[in-house]
A and B are shown apart, each in its own frame.
Chain A
Amino acid sequence: MQHKGENDSSSWQMNCPVSIPSNAECVTLAHGEGGRLSRKLVQERIVRVLNNEYLVALNDAAQLPEVRGPLALTTDSFVVSPLFFPGGDIGSLAVFGTVNDLAVSGARPLWLTLSLIMEEGLPLAILDRVLESIAGAAEMTGVKIVAGDTKVVPRGAADGLFINTAGVGELITPTPPGPATLKEDDELIVSGPIGRHGIAVLAVREELGLSPLPLSDCGSLLQPVERLRDGIGDQVRCMRDATRGGVAAVLHEWAETCGLTLSIDERSLPVSPAVRGVCELLGLDPLHVANEGTMVIAVKQGTSAAALRILHSLSETAGARLIGNVTSRGIAPVTVRRTLGPEQPLDDPLGSPLPRIC
């Protein structure tokens, strides 16, 4: 964990959306003990905001209706610092992140669990904001938060707030068969400008003094995924949201699985001016910077034009681009063609240059 001195900002203080008076009500250890205060917290704050029939019942396990057909299950933990960043916060991230993982796996997201680990001293007003954000994201994506848990750890044992969400969805055919099915001449697409989330978080956390503050792409990929499935369903090989490690990490994972080479052209990469500017300034490669609401898609040869037409019809994926294709295994698992010279290997991100991005 990062060394934290007394004067170091907690992850909720940076870019805080509400002013917190010094006598504000805060989370205490008692809130996590399972007694009256715990119940009060859950009922008055969490259930009230996330209101649905399963949560209200407050059983030990949510009793859910039958789903005909196979399911998908995923989980993710969120430790982003700061909690609030331009374009989102840990709450919306926690919902969209898990919803997107289900979506790109070919599932329609149904239900989520929500686990909160709160640091003693977290202002309740901050918790309320995060919960509102979670509620908003859940409503937008049509998922219900049906079960959850709250724990409180002593000051210093967590940084503000950590969240885990697990999500269940029903698989809708045709489901993308996955990177093992990639073939030569398959085409590679990104659904929008790359690197936005990592840069947005970095700009705030490192207090880079940029204006305007770059926005994260934190958001739902449900619509684009559904439209692609309806339009060109069985032409899609695989999809993946390009979170930690960026687009490069996804390409490396796929290349490792299929044993072929994924080759991209640097000049086709969509990069927003803000991300470009910051990356030049800091010497970062946008291919290695995290995204949240942007995915890499591999489609069968000849399908990219149709895929792009579909993506361009939606505002969240208006910036989608064809970035490369799959070839027989060459000089490296992932290669990039730059301005000049021969294809070069694109290195596998060593470790994030930007920790605690999601």
Chain B
Amino acid sequence: MCLGIPGKVVRWLEREGAFAQAEVEFDGIRRIVHMACVTEAALGDYVVVHAGIAISRIDPLEAKRIFETLAEWGEDEGWRSDLSSEPEASP
């Protein structure tokens, strides 16, 4: 129930206020998500969706930090190159 799944904002339908809605893509499948709590999200941003509403925008810089730490530990198993790659387009 605490399932919060990351998805990409691909199209805004209603931008403002309590009835804001956007189309969000989860690995190639799109669904309309209620965006009242994350109206600042831009196209291409990733949001965490729970029970049909977005509850947070994912910060891409913070998202990389754990991999930066692991890379610092000297275990450079390709994470350095991963860090600079852009999110791949969904098929």
Contacts and interface: CB of A to CB of B under 8 A. Distances in A.
Chain A directly contacts chain B within the complex, with at least one CB pair under 8 Å:
yes
B32 A278 contact: no
Given A208-B31, A214-B29, A281-B26, A273 B5 contact: no
B31 A273 contact: no
Interface string B1-20: 00101000000000000000
A351 interface: no
A280 interface: yes
Contact of B26 (A209, A212, A280, A283): A280
A62 interface: no
Interface residues of A, number: 14
Nearest to B28: A273
B30 A280 contact: no
A280 B26 CA distance: 9
B29 A212 contact: yes
A284 B26 CA distance: 15
Interface in B43-91: 49, 90-91
B5 A209 contact: no
Contacts, number: 38
Contacts of B28: 273-274, 277
A208 B26 CA distance: 13
A274 B3 contact: no
A68 to B, nearest CB: 49
B40 interface: no
Contacts of B27: 273-274, 276-277, 280
Interface magnitude class on chain B: 10 to 19
Contacts of B90: 273
Contacts of A331: none
A277 B26 contact: yes
Contacts of A211: 23, 29-31
B14 to A, nearest CB: 15
Contacts of A274: 27-29
Given A273-B90, A281-B5, A209 B32 contact: yes
Among A273, A277, A283, find the residue whose CB has the most chain B CB atoms closer than 10 A.
Answer: A277
A278 B29 contact: yes
B29 A277 contact: yes
Interface in A238-282: 273-274, 276-278, 280-281
Contacts of A210: 29-31
B29 A209 contact: no
A277 B31 CA distance: 11
A209 B16 CA distance: 22
A273 B91 contact: yes
Interface string A207-220: 01111101000000
Contacts of A283: 3
Nearest to A272: B28
A146 B23 CA distance: 49
A278 B3 CA distance: 12
B75 to A, nearest CB: 17
A208 B24 CA distance: 13
Interface string A57-94: 00000000000000000000000000000000000000
A273 B88 CA distance: 13
A72 B28 CA distance: 42
B91 A209 contact: no
A59 B65 CA distance: 75
Contacts of A273: 27-29, 90-91
5 contacts: A208-B31, A211-B29, A212-B29, A278-B26, A280-B27
